[in-house]
């Protein structure tokens, strides 16, 4: 280093040069020498890197017993991430539940009480969250991150017993390091057959679910963090034949994507936007017939959709059949094959291995 040009540069300038590197290069540079590692792990550098580096959001498409695969639209490449090894997790014992601000949130499987684990695969850090105050059965879960404070919150709605009709909402605040009781509710629209993922937009969590006792089908629910209450928006679904619906946040808009099934066949795959002034879903596009025919999507096959800025990713459990829709020019583009997944797909036996979440790798996100 003494004979290197880098030695002559002021540390502030060195940090700024490094801050324009992609995350993979930063990790490699940390291994060059102690001086670079010190610079590249300092608070000043991490803050600078966060501010200067353009957003590089990926789509998590599937996971297997060994890796989590993510597609990067900016580079048109697959990134196979050994999340479980880097975060010391057993893939057979955890389930990915949420993602925000470069962090992934898992919960344990097949345990008496749910335990949540927050990880940053880039920095190889993880935190086992404290036990929730009362919730033992999870119905709804969402996560939001705040880059300004480098903190996050996790919303969980559930029950103390599987047979109770009272739902409880708790929020974990990483700045406080504990759970906060928000509210109790006996509304039937909060009781579900399965765990539901909530998305975040402008101070509210939104989720789409089919309650156990409701006869109206899918319901659009919202939770106000400020008022601490759940509300059924009573929005009519765009079609009674809607299947596999997904809520998406794109460009600050709340979108809905899903397939229309008639007579045991997939007739179309559509995208709608919620017009908040009238609380109605308005269709903004439909998948072209020639694209739909190439998906080979039986009516019973699960379709997952993810929103990321101006892009929407559509995937089935056949992970190599994925494509991206661009809201800007209304174009459709097939994703390239993932070589690692192609080699191992025969071992998956058709199981649904999709994760279905956007992910933004981060050097600075703290668990």
Q: Are strands 125-128 and 116-120 parallel, antiparallel or unpaired?
A: antiparallel
Tens of pLDDT, residue by residue over 67-117, are 788 888 888 888 888 888 888 998 888 889 999 999 999 999 877 889 999
Domain 1-53 has CATH 1.20.1280: yes
Q: Where in the chain is the domain with CATH 1.20.1280?
A: 1-53
CA distance 259 to 242: 6
* Cβ–Cβ under 8 Å, residues 59 and 51: no
Whether the full predicted model's pTM is greater than 0.85, yes or no, is yes
pLDDT of residue 255: 97
Q: What is the DSSP letter of 192?
A: B
pLDDT of residue 347: 46
CA contacts within 13 A on the Cβ side of 183: 14
Taking CA 84 as the corner, what is the angle to CA 61 and CA 308, rounded to the nearest 5 degrees?
30
Strands 242-250 and 229-232: unpaired
Asked if pLDDT for residue 174 goes beyond 80, the answer is yes
Q: Which two tokens stand for residue 9?
A: 């540069």
Average pLDDT value over all residues in the chain? 84
* pLDDT band (50, 70, 90) for residue 215: low
Can you tell me the mean pLDDT for 165-186? 95
CB 321 within 8 Å of CB 314 = no
What is the maximum span of the chain, computed from C-alpha positions, in angstroms?
A: 75
Specify the pLDDT at position 349: 43
pLDDT per position as a tens digit, 290-346: 888 877 666 667 788 899 889 999 987 655 568 899 999 999 998 887 776 555 554
At residue 364, the 3 state secondary structure works out as coil
pLDDT at 346: 46
In this predicted structure, the answer to whether residue 351 has a pLDDT above a threshold of 50 is no
Q: Which of 2-6, 140-144, 208-212, 247-251 has the lowest mean pLDDT?
A: 2-6
Residue 70 is encoded by which pair of tokens? 């993510």
- Kindly report, residue by residue over 107-146, the tens digit of the pLDDT: 998 778 899 999 998 888 999 999 999 999 999 999 999 9
């Amino acid at each position: 280093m003494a004979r290197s040009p880098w030695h002559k540069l002021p540390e502030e300038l060195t940090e700024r040069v490094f801050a324009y590197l992609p995350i993979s290069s930063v990790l490699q540079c940390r291994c060059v020498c102690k001086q670079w590692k010190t610079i590249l792990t300092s608070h000043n550098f991490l803050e600078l890197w966060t501010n200067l580096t353009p957003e590089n959001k990926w789509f998590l498409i599937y996971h297997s017993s060994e890796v989590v695969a993510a597609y990067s639209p900016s580079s048109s490449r697959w990134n196979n991430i050994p999340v479980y090894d880097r975060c010391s997790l057993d893939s057979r014992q955890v389930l990915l539940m949420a993602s925000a601000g470069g962090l992934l949130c898992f919960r344990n499987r097949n345990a008496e009480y749910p335990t949540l684990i927050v990880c940053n695969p880039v920095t190889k850090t993880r935190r086992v969250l404290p036990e929730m105050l009362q919730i033992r059965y999870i119905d709804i879960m969402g996560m939001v991150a705040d880059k300004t404070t480098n903190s996050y919150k996790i919303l969980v709605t559930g029950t103390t017993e599987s047979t109770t009709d009272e739902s409880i909402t708790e929020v974990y605040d990483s700045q406080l390091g504990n759970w906060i009781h928000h509210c109790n509710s006996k509304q039937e629209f909060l009781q579900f057959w399965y765990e539901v993922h909530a998305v975040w937009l402008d101070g509210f969590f939104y989720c789409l679910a089919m309650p156990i006792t409701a006869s109206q089908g899918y319901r659009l629910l919202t939770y106000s963090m400020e008022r601490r209450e759940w509300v059924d928006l009573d929005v009519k679904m765009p079609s009674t034949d809607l299947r596999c619906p997904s809520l998406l946040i794109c460009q600050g808009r709340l979108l809905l994507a899903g397939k229309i099934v008639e007579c045991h066949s997939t007739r179309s795959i559509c995208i709608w936007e919620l017009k908040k002034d009238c609380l109605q879903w308005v269709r903004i596009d439909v998948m072209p017939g020639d694209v739909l025919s190439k998906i080979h999507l039986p009516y019973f096959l699960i379709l997952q959709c993810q929103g990321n800025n101006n892009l929407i990713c559509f995937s089935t459990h056949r992970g190599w059949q994925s494509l991206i829709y661009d809201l800007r020019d209304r174009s459709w583009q097939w994703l390239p094959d993932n070589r690692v997944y192609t080699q191992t797909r025969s071992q998956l036996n058709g199981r649904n291995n999709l994760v279905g979440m956007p992910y933004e790798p981060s050097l600075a996100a703290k668990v």
